[in-house]
Amino acid sequence: MTYRAPKGTDDILPPASAAWVEAERVFFDLAERYGYGLTLTPMFESTELFSRGIGEDTEVVEKQMYTFVDKGGRSVTLRPEATASVVRAVIQAGGVVGTFKGFYWGPMFRYERPQKGRRRQFSQAGIEYLGEPDPGADVEVIELGYRYLQELDVPNVEVRLNSIGDAADRSEYRKRLIEFLESRRDDLSEDALRRMYDNPMRVLDSKADADAVAGAPTPADFLSSEAADHFAGVRAGLEEADIPYRIVPTLVRGLDYYNRTVWEYVPLDFEAAQSSVGGGGRYDPLFEMLGGKPTPAVGVAMGLDRILLARNEAAQKPLLDAYVILADPDRRTEATEFVRRLRDAGLRADRTVGDRSVKAQFKAADRARAAYALVVGEEWDEGRVTARDLATGEQFSVALEEIETWLKR
RNA sequence: GUGGCCGUAGCUCAGCCUGGUAGAGCGCCUGGUUGUGGUCCAGGAGGUCGCGGGUUCGAACCCCGUCGGCCACCCCA
């Protein structure tokens, strides 16, 4: 094999790509029904945009960024996520007036060792609700992500929810957590010991330390009354919206710009080390960190690659409505015009261009996953074609003037 | 970054231990069926055995190196 796709990247070809087309349509439609507008930003940004706000874990995270120096000597980075870009774009455009509701869709890049559901280029669909401090915004965003998974038939999804409080709550919590970890020093892994002072919250979701940290204090124990009220509002809203959720006190975020609500979507039947198919959080501090006016914000990002892996295997839907089969070479011109007519009517139609046996043309129709084969032969002179249902083998004689409505019925 | 497993036909893999001129199933093409796919039967095409080096009369097979894939750890903005 001379050339292959770069490590950790995937080619998406038909017929498998049909699932991607569907996922995109469903997302665009859903986001627009909730009042969000398409928000497109560059796939690369100045490196500083991403390293700012990442905070304590900068070194680790920069190892996972696709960073390079361009011909003008600028350090740029392929976007590892979209939130920073969207916020930057909104600040650049003058900031939020009232509220801003945007959605995006596209590839993101992280330099990591690939495994199931973890690629170097991967796709996310996300939404950002900017300028709204009310817990109703959190609820709407959580709901939208949940609805998306439902509409794509991802089975058995659990919403895991937590509140990590505001900055002041977290620094108090952090102190107490470090004290706790120090008391368990002997039971902790080497990694945990190394990280307990720079990013202690991350120790909570280390697999190796699950037993040692059982009983550790959790962020929820340190919420200010404002943060606690907000969290209560989110929970009440989810119950009203009939979104099932589970509070997971150890669910945290490593980055400084998150506050209060954080959540993840986990399909319980999806077996992979990388099990979350999406997640979000409130990030009220981010605007100021990026030089904008203080602006409350909440958003979610859905991982398309994992969602498509976790989906119920969709029944193989036809990719074409009709495949025209030329049974009589003398009617080639008519058959060509017939295909064009079907396409003009909005139907997905195709045919074999060259001179092939009827048998070979049927085979091609089958492979193209057409719903019907339409035979153009001697019946054409009577103004009819033979329509064969390729799934059942049933055949019908259909008048030409009715064929479009017949196929669409 | 660390570890385990794996690279042989388009795909999934057997052969490797015990070196002797490369196999199966599926897929593909043709025919049986001069207008019928998906089933059945017959025939056929298709491979620098990931790459480089070494050992040997001889290497898919043994040795060394290298590249790639998968999964887990790690990380998860």
pLDDT in tens, A321-340: 999 999 988 899 999 999 99
What's the Å distance between residue A79 CA and nucleotide B3 C1'?
30
What ipTM was assigned to the predicted interfaces of this complex? 0.85
d(CA A92, CA A102): 15
Distances (CA, A) of A95 to A16, A41, A131, A231, A290: 40, 15, 9, 26, 12
Specify whether the CB–CB gap between A108 and A83 falls below 8 A. no
What's the Å distance between residue A110 CA and nucleotide B67 C1'?
22
> At residue A4, does pLDDT exceed 90?
no
What's the Å distance between residue A135 CA and nucleotide B28 C1'?
59
Q: What is the pLDDT of residues A348-391, one digit of tens each?
A: 999 988 888 899 999 999 989 999 999 999 999 999 999 999 98
d(CA A44, CA A62): 15
Which is more confidently placed, A114 or A229?
A229
Binned at pLDDT 50, 70 and 90, residue A60 comes out as low
Please name every residue paired with A161 in a beta bridge, in sequence order, or none if there are none: A247, A263
Residue with smallest Cα–C1' gap to B30: A360
Cβ of A116 near strand B (distance < 7 A): yes
What SS3 class is residue A82? coil
Q: Determine phi and psi for A22, rounding to 5 degrees.
A: -65, -45
Which residues are CB-contacts of A386 (< 8 A; sequence separation ≥ 6)?
A374, A375, A377, A379, A395, A396, A397, A398
What SS3 class is residue A316? coil
Q: What angle do CA A167, A172, A178 make, to 5 degrees?
A: 115
Binned at pLDDT 50, 70 and 90, residue A53 comes out as low
> At residue A8, does pLDDT exceed 70?
yes
Specify whether the CB–CB gap between A195 and A203 falls below 8 A. yes
Strand B-contacting residues in A 332-361, CB cut-off 7 angstroms:
356-360
Question: Of A9, A4, A5, A3, which is closest to residue A78 (Cα–Cα)?
Answer: A9
What's the Å distance between residue A1 CA and nucleotide B12 C1'?
18
> At residue A58, does pLDDT exceed 80?
no
Nucleotide with the nearest C1' to A395 CA: B36
Instruction: Provide the positions of strand B that have an atom within 7 A of a protein CB.
Output: 1-3, 28-31, 33-38, 50, 68-77
Q: Reply yes or no: is the peptide bond before residue A15 cis, omega within 30 of 0.
A: yes
Specify whether the CB–CB gap between A386 and A326 falls below 8 A. no
> At residue A102, does pLDDT exceed 80?
yes
What SS3 class is residue A368? coil
Specify whether the CB–CB gap between A34 and A144 falls below 8 A. yes
Strand B-contacting residues in A 17-46, CB cut-off 7 angstroms:
none
- For A137-283, where are the E strands, in sequence order? 157-163, 246-247, 259-267, 278-282
What's the Å distance between residue A7 CA and nucleotide B65 C1'?
22
Strand B-contacting residues in A 359-398, CB cut-off 7 angstroms:
359-360, 362-363, 365-367, 373, 375, 377-379, 386, 388, 390-393, 395
- For CA atoms A173, A175, A180, A184, the dihedral sign is positive
Please name every residue paired with A41 in a beta bridge, in sequence order, or none if there are none: none
d(CA A409, CA A406): 5
Please name every residue paired with A163 in a beta bridge, in sequence order, or none if there are none: A261
Cβ of A297 near strand B (distance < 7 A): no
What's the Å distance between residue A294 CA and nucleotide B75 C1'?
30
Which residues are CB-contacts of A37 (< 8 A; sequence separation ≥ 6)?
A101, A102, A103
How many helices and strands, by DSSP H and E, does chain A display?
13, 16
Cβ of A120 near strand B (distance < 7 A): no
At A187, which helix (H) or strand (E)?
none
- One-letter amino acid at A305 equals D
Tokens of A400: 């030409």
